[in-house]
């Protein structure tokens, strides 16, 4: 971003930056539309149904039809609701979900803002996400949304602690809080990825455990099954969204899926080598192609890994029953937290005494 402003001047540079942000937002929004369809298709396949298959070939346009339907519906605000906060809540949720993507690199140099403390930025933005849910639940002036928002606050805070500790283990191995640097630390092929690291073979069991905890914590952080307690239909009707309709409901749902895909991108970057393929390519071979073609190849690897993780999210939703709230809290505080803390101590000791240059 700064480079464009320095190269083209303030006005032209800012126009180019805004153009990049707009293009990235458009591509991300279209990706969410098709990933939402994938989610519904996986769920249908597990139930031996076809899923959406009418709107467009193979149902590919279903998400766009649903989008138009939500836009055309009437926005209904409960009589006793705080109208201003009620409408701000879904906007805040969506804005924070988009803002987090500013620091995500999808290919070398393909990032809106390559922040040196990108991990810290992401953690700060994701921590703010709970405010949109709390505001929506409180402003609805209804018991079910309010109870759901309280559940969500406790759930997200509980699992953010474990996620933060797991991220620290990756930072210790990579020696940087910059997301691009973390990806480049895994550029030696399949066995340099943090999930399958042979470079730090002693840490392999620790990193596998950290990855499993991160995946489960990501499910809880994004309120996905089997941890969808803030919107449990059998207990709270539809959770914090029960009083929302039309466009505000769409914004909540869109923000939720943006956060899910963000978690998939984080797992790709932290544990699966980001945009790097499983087989490292020689510099001579890479130099045979234009830079934009090479970057498209990197982007393809990144997207393939991201879609794989999203498929796992969808599969878990279809096959794993919902946890009770006490089970959820016990898992977070009594199992994940001490295990993640132990992982930080082990990896920290390995980095300090194992001669790792971090």
Asked if residues 18 and 112 have their Cβ atoms less than 8 Å apart, the reply is: no
Indicate if the pLDDT at residue 54 is higher than 70: yes
pTM tops 0.75, yes or no: yes
The residue among 4 and 50 whose pLDDT is bigger is: 50
Indicate if the pLDDT at residue 301 is higher than 60: yes
State the average pLDDT for the chain: 85
As a whole number, mean pLDDT of residues 151-162 equals 86
As a whole number, mean pLDDT of residues 63-92 equals 87
Is the alpha carbon torsion for 111, 112, 117, 119 positive or negative?
A: negative
Position 163 scores a pLDDT of 93
As a whole number, mean pLDDT of residues 131-143 equals 85
Neighbours of 269 (CB within 10 A): 27
**Cα-trace Rg, the chain:** 21
User: How buried is residue 11: exposed, middle or buried, by Cβ count under 10 Å (0-12/13-18/19+)?
Assistant: exposed
DSSP string, 42-110: HHHHHTT---S-SSSGGGTTHHHHHHHHHHHS-----TTS-HHHHHHHHHHHHHHHHHHGGG--SSTT-
Grade residue 167 by pLDDT with cuts at 50, 70 and 90: very high
Grade residue 10 by pLDDT with cuts at 50, 70 and 90: low
Position 24 scores a pLDDT of 85
As a whole number, mean pLDDT of residues 119-123 equals 89
Indicate if the pLDDT at residue 264 is higher than 90: yes
**pLDDT tens digits along 86-114:** 899 999 999 999 999 988 998 888 888 88
Upstream peptide bond of 252 is cis (omega within 30 degrees of 0): no
**pLDDT tens digits along 312-350:** 998 888 888 888 888 888 998 999 999 999 999 999 998
As a whole number, mean pLDDT of residues 74-93 equals 87
When mean pLDDT is compared across 13-27, 215-229, 290-304, 322-336, the lowest value belongs to 13-27
Position 308 scores a pLDDT of 93
Is the alpha carbon torsion for 44, 39, 91, 126 positive or negative?
A: positive
Position 233 scores a pLDDT of 61
Indicate if the pLDDT at residue 284 is higher than 90: no
Selection from 273, 278, 265, 107 nearest residue 174 by Cα: 273
The residue among 344 and 357 whose pLDDT is bigger is: 344
Grade residue 170 by pLDDT with cuts at 50, 70 and 90: very high
**What is residue 272's DSSP assignment?**
S
Position 351 scores a pLDDT of 86
Position 356 scores a pLDDT of 59
As a whole number, mean pLDDT of residues 142-150 equals 82
């Amino acid at each position: 971003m700064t480079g464009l402003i320095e190269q083209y001047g303030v006005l032209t540079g800012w126009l180019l930056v805004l153009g990049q942000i707009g293009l990235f937002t458009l591509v991300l929004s279209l990706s969410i539309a098709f990933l939402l369809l994938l989610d519904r298709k996986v769920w249908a396949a597990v139930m031996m149904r076809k899923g959406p298959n009418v709107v467009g070939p193979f149902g590919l346009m279903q998400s766009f039809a649903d989008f138009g339907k939500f836009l055309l519906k009437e926005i209904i605000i409960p009589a006793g609701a705080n109208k201003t906060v009620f409408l701000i809540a879904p906007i805040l949720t969506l804005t924070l979900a988009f803002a987090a993507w500013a620091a995500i690199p999808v290919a070398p140099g393909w990032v809106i803002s390559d922040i040196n403390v990108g991990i810290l930025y992401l953690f700060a933005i994701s921590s703010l996400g709970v405010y949109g849910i709390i505001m929506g639940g409180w402003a609805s002036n209804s018991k079910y949304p309010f109870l759901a928002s309280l559940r969500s606050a406790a759930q997200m805070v509980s699992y953010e602690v474990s996620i933060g500790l797991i991220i620290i283990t990756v930072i210790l191995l990579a020696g940087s809080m910059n997301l691009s640097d973390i990806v480049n630390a895994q550029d030696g092929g399949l066995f340099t990825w943090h999930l399958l690291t042979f470079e730090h073979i002693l840490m392999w069991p620790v990193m596998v455990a950290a990855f499993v905890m991160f995946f489960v914590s990501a499910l809880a952080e994004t309120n996905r099954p089997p941890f969808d307690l803030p919107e449990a239909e059998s207990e709270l009707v539809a959770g914090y969204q029960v009083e929302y309709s039309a466009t505000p409901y769409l914004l909540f749902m869109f923000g939720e899926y943006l956060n899910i895909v963000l978690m998939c991108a984080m797992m790709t970057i932290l544990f699966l080598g980001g945009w790097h393929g499983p087989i490292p390519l020689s510099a001579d071979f890479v130099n045979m192609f234009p830079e934009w073609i090479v970057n498209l190849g990197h982007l393809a690897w990144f997207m393939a890994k991201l879609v794989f993780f999203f498929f796992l999210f969808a599969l878990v939703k279809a096959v794993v029953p919902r946890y009770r709230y006490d089970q959820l809290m016990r898992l977070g505080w009594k199992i994940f937290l001490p295990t993640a803390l132990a992982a930080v101590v082990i990896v920290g000791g390995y980095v300090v005494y194992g001669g790792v240059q971090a």
